[in-house]
Structure 1
Amino acid sequence: MFRAFHWDWYERSGPGSELLGRLDGKTVVELGAGIGRQAAHLAVTRAVAEVTALDSSPSMHARGLKAYGDIPGLRVVRADATAYLREHPDTFDIAYSVFGAVDFTDPRRLLPAIATSLRPAGILVFSTLGRYRNGQEPETEVRAARLPTTLADGTPATMERWVLGLPVWERLLVRAGLEIVDVETVDDAGRDDHPPVVTRILRAVRPVGP
């Protein structure tokens, strides 16, 4: 139920929740939390004040409430990430995304909203694909790929995924008012029927002062 916290695609290598820094008494939000397993892990294993598991999917929200809704210090919230963060300025000490909302929301809207929601010296940490899973290189401009998917009711649909090169992410973070702290790459060679995947983990901070 509360297995180790991972940032990488296959959840088997690389750093863990220590990338979030000291969590004692902190308010934390996970962006695109799915059912909230990672957020529940933090609520149970780290001395946080509160963790908000944020996801826009009705089905994920319902599953999250059923699985983790009774955990003290955990809030399972259904909302659009950009809108929610704009409505909660200077609220969070830490925001993070594990292949979550940062991957599936226009970063020109989401990253400024994240900066707004963070308190001064607040931290953003997110993992994203370093390149497409088929090996194609990431985008060199702010452009989303349109990928086929299936809705909960079985209806075919498409969704946008932002697989961007590191220089693009760096420019977007700076424009949003965030300072880059560091970047880590987890290169998993894959095995059996699992293809190689490059995970990029970026950390940024909202500066103190103007």
Structure 2
Amino acid sequence: MTPSPASSAAASDLWQHYDSNPARRVMNRIHWDWYQRTGPGAELLGDLAGLTAVELGAGAGHQAAHIATFLEPARLICLDSSPAQHANSRTLYGDIPGLEPVHTDAAAFLNRGPGTIDVAYSLFGALDFSEPRALLPALATALRPGGRLVFSTLGHYKGGGAPATECRAADIPTRRADGSPGTMRRWVLDTSVWEKLLAGHGFELSDTDTIRDPGPAGAPPMTTLVFRARRRGDDRTRRRRAATAASKAK
């Protein structure tokens, strides 16, 4: 029997064993750092009231549940390519108003909806595990001019190795759905690389935070990078603004 696409996707799900028995927990606060315990919170996203937001690689939906509950966007679309994590998100938080779990590839979804998103964010999510040169252009397509992008990513490899100084991924060990060893690609990039990628794909960098945590007992120190950027307006918008500024200066 030929397996269905759904069953094939489930069999190859590299996130099957991550947070495999999650419990519902609408947190009072989220953090962007690796250990989820220090630094800024959801306020980095700004005012979401009445806006459409998207989480890139939402996992089981814990952070999205907080944001949907306390920041109250009109829509919060939770993208994840993992069948297991998508199912967890729907089961745990599908009843929260405005929260919409969607099982899909992030870049493909974003490319289908030009100019439909106000705010996009990722907490060690799709921007860590997708080719940035494909995902960032898709984000620039989906975000409205001036739309916000906020994401956290590793400042170095979990074992302490330095980040890459060019846009290339590393293969990291994981487990397949059947429990056998596997690998997945992760992009751990130097700050300067992310800055060039953002500038080259339609974004203006607003701010970069570096959060260093010595780690809880028995855990290694970790550095988290948090980027905030805005999607640039199109050329016509920039020309109109420049013309307006020039006329006011006369």
Task: Name the TM tier (shorter chain).
Answer: over 0.9
Q: Which residue of the other structure, out of 229, 233, 236, is the alignment partner of 1:204?
A: 229
Q: Is 1:191 the counterpart of 2:216 in the alignment? A: yes
Instruction: Give 2:83's aligned residue.
Output: 58
Find the aligned partners of 2:78 and 2:147 in 1 and give their Cα distance.
Answer: 17
CA contact 2:47–2:71 (8 Å) conserved in 1: no
The alpha carbon displacement at 1:60 in A equals 0.5
Q: Is 1:46 the counterpart of 2:66 in the alignment? A: no
Tell me the TM-score normalised to structure 2 length: 0.82
Find the aligned partners of 2:197 and 2:63 in 1 and give their Cα distance.
Answer: 26
CA contact 1:59–1:152 (8 Å) conserved in 2: no
Tell me the TM-score normalised to structure 1 length: 0.98
Q: Is 1:26 the counterpart of 2:51 in the alignment? A: yes
Q: Is 1:36 the counterpart of 2:61 in the alignment? A: yes
Q: Is 1:2 the counterpart of 2:35 in the alignment? A: no
Question: In structure 1, what residue type is equivalent to 2:161?
Answer: Q
Q: CA offsets per residue over residues 73-128 of structure 1, 9 Å max, x none?
A: 00000000111111111111000000000000010101111111101110000000
Structure 1: runs of 5+ lacking an equivalent = none
Find the aligned partners of 2:72 and 2:97 in 1 and give their Cα distance.
Answer: 11
Q: Is 1:160 the counterpart of 2:185 in the alignment? A: yes
CA-based RMSD = 0.9
Q: CA offsets per residue over residues 112-149 of structure 1, 9 Å max, x none?
A: 11111101110000000011111111000111010111
Q: Is 1:67 the counterpart of 2:122 in the alignment? A: no
Find the aligned partners of 1:163 and 1:44 in 2 and give their Cα distance.
Answer: 31
Following TM superposition, the consecutive aligned residue runs of length 4 or more in structure 1 with deviations greater than 3 angstroms are none
Structure 2: runs of 5+ lacking an equivalent = 1-24, 236-250
Q: Percent identity?
A: 55
Q: CA offsets per residue over residues 141-177 of structure 1, 9 Å max, x none?
A: 1110101111233132210000000110001001111
Q: Which residue of the other structure, out of 154, 157, 167, is the alignment partner of 1:129?
A: 154
Higher-helix-fraction structure: 2
Find the aligned partners of 2:146 and 2:46 in 1 and give their Cα distance.
Answer: 12
Which secondary structure state, in structure 2, belongs to the residue aligned with residue 23 of structure 1? coil
After the TM superposition, which residues 106-121 of structure 1 pair with which residues of structure 2 at under 5 Å, given as runs? 106-121=131-146
